[in-house]
Structure 1
Amino acid sequence: MPPTESKESITDAFDKLKKGRESFVPSFSPREVGYVMSVSAGIVRVSGLQAAGYKELLKFPKDLFGIAYNLDETEIGVILLGEDSLLNVGDEVERTGRVLDIPVGEALIGRVVDPLGKPLDDKGHIGFSKRLPIQRPAPAIMDRAEVTVPLQTGLKIVDAMIPIGRGQRELILGDRQTGKTAIAIDTILNQHDKNVICVYCAISQRSSSVAKVIAQLHEKGAMHYTLVVVAEGNSSPGLKYIAPYAATSIAEYFMERGQDVLIVYDDLTHHARAYRELSLLLRRPPGREAFPGDIFYIHSKLLERATHLSEELGGGSLTALPIIETEAQNISDYIPTNLISINDGQLFLSPKLFEMGVLPAIDIGKSVSRVGGKAQLPVFRSITGTLKLAYSQFEELESFARFGTRLDDDTRKKIIHGQRIREGLKQAEFHPMSVPEQILILLALTSGLFDSIPLQRMLESEQALLMSAKELPRALVGRLYSDKKLNEADRQSILEIAAEVLSSFKEEFEPKKDIR
């Protein structure tokens, strides 16, 4: 054989070997496996996974998962997402190479799921269209738009004096059993036929409390546009920790499709306590009230995801109503002050008002909305401008009247007017009101039409006035929802209807005797 032919054959053989090597696909996939060193309440310590990344999802036996949280030299501290009683020392742990995500999609509407996306309502399998990481960066400043559209809660006191806009974060705080959840549920119920998707996230709540909320949502027909994410009180602290992030990722799926979304976190006090428990078990240094130093960060990165997206990104919005619990009305505690500084306002519920039967028990003096005023319907601004001032003056003067102080006629009139305002702002639970109904009552209050009606007949007269809201002309109702203030002709039309209805409830009485 000539030398050139031998050389060519050797080259061809090398080319074939090279192509074969490049096209070779191994029939096995490499696994990086570690072992469980110790198991405690919600925390697992693992060794042997040297290449594991921060917050990587790790797989345990019996279909359990965990999040790699502490990356030490010789071991990894893992937050377990499930029952620690199912694991034993020496069990294998496997890397997944991905972070924790949750399935999202339209099929979730009307369902009850856990923070991992597993159904809890016995309605069968959920068909998901996509998966999103539970920890996602908040939209950039340039991707956001102004909050300009109101989110009507259906509560007179909120929509009139502490309005909320779509894309806002409004904190609800107060002592135990003061009606915090009721305000959030009323807001969800009021989104019927308003093209708003609602997400209710229950964190460490009693099973009976969650079941009661779900039953109310079903009874009022709200589950057609609502989904519920539940981490019950007996769930692992890891599930309680990830619950609000998972719920937010589900909500963001709809927001990024151009829809308006409302999310309720009930409540972040339990979320903070779950994270404190995990941090102490992971041997992270405790700070104020034993909370870790990054407790502010975990809440801020959650609530910063609530926003109104720009038109280029679809114009969707995510409105957040986080709930927290105070102790003895102390809003200067560590967690309340953190969350007040993160949010765009707060609704403070007073146990004193609750005991007096003033429901919802919102303390107007300690409640504020830093954004919603710009998104409030102009008709509310044109009517309720003096309402908050008149009510604040009444609260100051009321204390003098209780001590039998001699009052002049002008002061007595202010107290009588304030008493009617307080009665008029009361509202039954789970009965949100439409804009025309609210405008009828609020305009009658600010105009003093209720001042000559005895307090014991206020509820009766208000119900009669609500019935007359159905008689308002359709064109007038349309203007109430417009971007223009209430004109004088419409104001007079509404006042005439209100005066005619309330005339039958007026009685002659001595104002001085009516002061309480």
Structure 2
Amino acid sequence: MKPNQMQTIRRLEEEVDIGKVTLLEPVAAILFYDITLSTVMSSCVQQVLFSDDGLAILEGLNNDAPVGASLRFVSGASGVLLWRRSDNVCFALILGGRQNVSAGDRVECRLKGILQVVDDAEGPSTKREYEVARVPVGAALCGQVVDFLGCPHGSQYQLGMDAQLPLLNDQLDMKSREQINSASFTGIKAVDTLTPLGRGQAQLLVGPPGSGKSSLAVDAILGQHMHQQPGSACVSTIALLAHVSSQQEVVGMVEELSKAGAMRNTTVVSAAEGCGLGERYAALCSALSMGERVRDQGGHSFVVLDDISCMGAMWEMISRALASLGPTAMAIATPLNPDQPILPPDTDASEGDEQQGLVEYEGMLVSASAAQRRRFFSSLIQRSAQVHRRLGGGSMTLLAILPGQPAKGERQPAATAEDYPNLTPCQRDKLLAALAKRQPPVAETLPGCVNTEVVEEFMSIADGQLVLQAPTPDRLHTPDNSKQPEASQQQVGASQDDAAPAWQRLTGSNVDVSASVSRIGSRAYPPAMAMLAPSIRFDLAQAVDAQRFGTDRSETGLHHHHLQRAALLRAALAQPVRQPVPLEEQVAQLYALQKGFFDRGSPETIQEAIAEAVMHIRQDHPDALERIRRTQCLGPMAEAVLKAALVDVKMHHRQKMHGGEERCLLVHVEQARTGKIWICTGSGLELQMLSDEQTNRCRMDNVDGIEQKMQAGA
């Protein structure tokens, strides 16, 4: 060793009583020193440049300290290294005592040990091992409401300390992942039909305040619980709910989950009232770490983050702070990548490539600031994964709530009289009068929503999004006599009345079909749903196109037909709050919609018709639903029973309309190598299946004289 290295080792030996030397080979020796958390290393002490709302910008922190390293401020506050902008500028979360941290304070990385390696070939080298901020993730947290440290509110005792994971855990690499090919069932018809959620998928739930995002997320947790009842074919799923809003909302959610029995498999991670951005973000990350523990053990976790707008607020605050630092930030900023330009602190992403330069990120050429922001957002969203089967095959599914609206891209800026300088005074007066009557453009960012650009950034990172519309009167109007540029964003087929129909106040009625998408595709559907759901979505998409581009506005034209069909489907996909629909019932309803059994109904009455049909099938033909629930498939026998039962329900309706008159209906269904004959009367139904090998006769109900009627029908 060189003299200065020996002096360093001897000084450490004086400060630390524990030291040992292990000889591995004659040419190399490794000296490892365990350093207690209270040991202060002079090389780790740096200073704070900016501190506000639980966020800090640090200068000159050790360049080998990893993201997630535990920090200690001189005031006694604790923190964690969040992000590196360069070798010298770092961002940190302040997780305790944030009011006592101010600019100029000293901060230190907590060291776990120093590794001194001496090799004749490569020479001496020193490596530092840092203490990483960890959170409890043990099984004792199930059924509890805790903060990000695993402590129940009002208590300092941490639960689940038998297992711990890093708060800012790394994403799985591609070799450890597997293709998503199974469904994460939610029990919400609009979600499971239009934007199915696959196990291991990251899906956004986007909508303005008041659109029902949090309520829908709670329904999804209840659906997960319902789908894993005893006897179910699915594997048990642990739900994690991270809520960073008011404590009153948390209490209400916990009561509803407890009433349904879902809390025993659910952990709620709640941020304290009035906490800073740092602790709110830590609550989200803590819920993800708990879900990763279940995933790594081969289980399946379902994580709801309500909401992730704090990430956009954090990045905006950091950008403003760097701008306020001015030349100070520029003087200490050294790029991690020599080819990456250092941006001026006040440079905005929209000021042009000439000022910022472009960098390659994930195969795209983007501005350097946009690449950094995207990488920061991805660090949270892409923690969801389907683990490869060789590593256990577990999964963590993410449903992230984001208050906002996607970009519409259709509204043009309002014209002004200055745009037409050659008008005569009379023409100018007429133009000003017309512009005064025109409705002003809707603001891109509504109160309580994050910036549209941030929404689009998150949507491009996630595996899909479910977009909800605000329950405003404007959304309930769909005029048939005029085209509107934003028709695709309106509720297709909705009522023209000022008072919204009852079905439009149900869960799932305000889904924006044109903006909602699941990028996993049909792999996220259960097998039975994959046969039925795409046609429903196609019909709704046709209605959107008819509203935007249709020219035939008559009541007999295709335009009117598509709108009526869309209104019927929307009403059928709606459901009451806190009433998840089982898979087998969803399959039965979609089958009835696809085959046209409810086509003569109206949106106002279809909920009642669906409830009656499901009740009849469950009472008289429970075996068919049980087969679908057990296998998650719609086989030929189950399909035949479903259709027979629906025909029977239809005949009961006809009896009511015709005073109980009994009529006989003969239906022929031809399939490959199989002929099916259905005989339906007002009092019963029988199905006869004929094949070359055998004749199976399935009696569906008690029918007087069914054999004679079959012979007469033949």
Q: TM-score range by the shorter chain?
A: 0.7 to 0.9
Amino acid at match of 1:53: A
Corresponding residue for 1:307?
A: 385
Aligned to 2:387, the other structure's residue is in SS state coil
**Contact 1:39/1:84 (8 A) holds in 2:** no
Aligned to 1:137, the other structure's residue is in SS state coil
CA distance in 1, matches of 2:150, 2:598: 51
Q: Where does 1:138-287 land on structure 2 (aligned, <5 Å)?
A: 138-192=171-225, 193=228, 194=234, 195-203=236-244, 205-232=245-272, 234-281=274-321, 283=325, 285=345, 287=348
TM-score normalised according to structure 1 size: 0.81
CA distance in 1, matches of 2:58, 2:39: 19
**Contact 2:63/2:87 (8 A) holds in 1:** no
Structure 1 residue 207: Cα displacement = 2.6
Structure 1 residue 307: Cα displacement = 1.1
Structure 1 residue 44: Cα displacement = 5.7
CA distance in 2, matches of 1:430, 1:219: 11
CA distance in 1, matches of 2:86, 2:148: 27
Q: Are 2:78 and 1:65 aligned?
A: yes
Stretch moving more, 80-89 or 221-230: 80-89
CA distance in 2, matches of 1:45, 1:387: 51
Amino acid at match of 2:514: G
**Contact 2:136/2:159 (8 A) holds in 1:** no
Alpha-carbon spacing, 1:463–1:99, altered in 2? closer, same or farther (3 Å): same
Q: Are 2:592 and 1:444 aligned?
A: yes
CA distance in 1, matches of 2:643, 2:238: 35
CA distance in 2, matches of 1:82, 1:487: 57
Corresponding residue for 2:526?
A: 377
**Contact 1:440/1:466 (8 A) holds in 2:** yes
Q: Where does 1:75-86 land on structure 2 (aligned, <5 Å)?
A: 78-86=92-100
Corresponding residue for 2:40?
A: 31
Q: Are 2:516 and 1:367 aligned?
A: yes
- 1:137 equivalent among 137, 147, 170: 170
**Contact 1:202/1:210 (8 A) holds in 2:** yes
Corresponding residue for 1:346?
A: 465
CA distance in 2, matches of 1:186, 1:167: 19
**Contact 1:440/1:498 (8 A) holds in 2:** no
Deviations 1:125-175 (A, max 9, x none): 514212211222211212111212111111112222321111111121122
Amino acid at match of 1:463: A
Aligned length in residues: 487
Deviations 1:326-353 (A, max 9, x none): 2586589221121111111111112224
TM-score normalised according to structure 2 size: 0.60
**Contact 1:147/1:374 (8 A) holds in 2:** yes
Aligned to 2:465, the other structure's residue is in SS state strand
**Which structure has the highest helix share of the two?**
1
Structure 1 residue 375: Cα displacement = 3.3
Identity %, equivalent residues: 25
**Contact 2:552/2:559 (8 A) holds in 1:** no
- Bigger Rg over Cα: 2
**Contact 2:135/2:165 (8 A) holds in 1:** yes
CA distance in 1, matches of 2:314, 2:574: 35
**Contact 1:288/1:334 (8 A) holds in 2:** no
CA distance in 2, matches of 1:461, 1:249: 45
- 1:427 equivalent among 570, 575, 579: 575
Deviations 1:423-463 (A, max 9, x none): 11111122110011112211111122112234433222222
Amino acid at match of 2:569: I
Alpha-carbon spacing, 1:61–1:478, altered in 2? closer, same or farther (3 Å): farther
**Contact 2:624/2:642 (8 A) holds in 1:** no
CA distance in 2, matches of 1:250, 1:242: 12
Stretch moving more, 354-363 or 365-374: 354-363
Deviations 1:20-50 (A, max 9, x none): x988999998433759778842356889987
- 1:391 equivalent among 520, 540, 543: 540
Aligned to 1:366, the other structure's residue is in SS state coil
Q: Are 2:366 and 1:326 aligned?
A: no
Amino acid at match of 2:527: P
**Contact 2:136/2:158 (8 A) holds in 1:** no
Stretch moving more, 360-369 or 350-359: 350-359
Stretch moving more, 128-137 or 90-99: 90-99
Aligned to 1:297, the other structure's residue is in SS state helix
Deviations 1:480-512 (A, max 9, x none): 55365x344422311222333354556879xxx
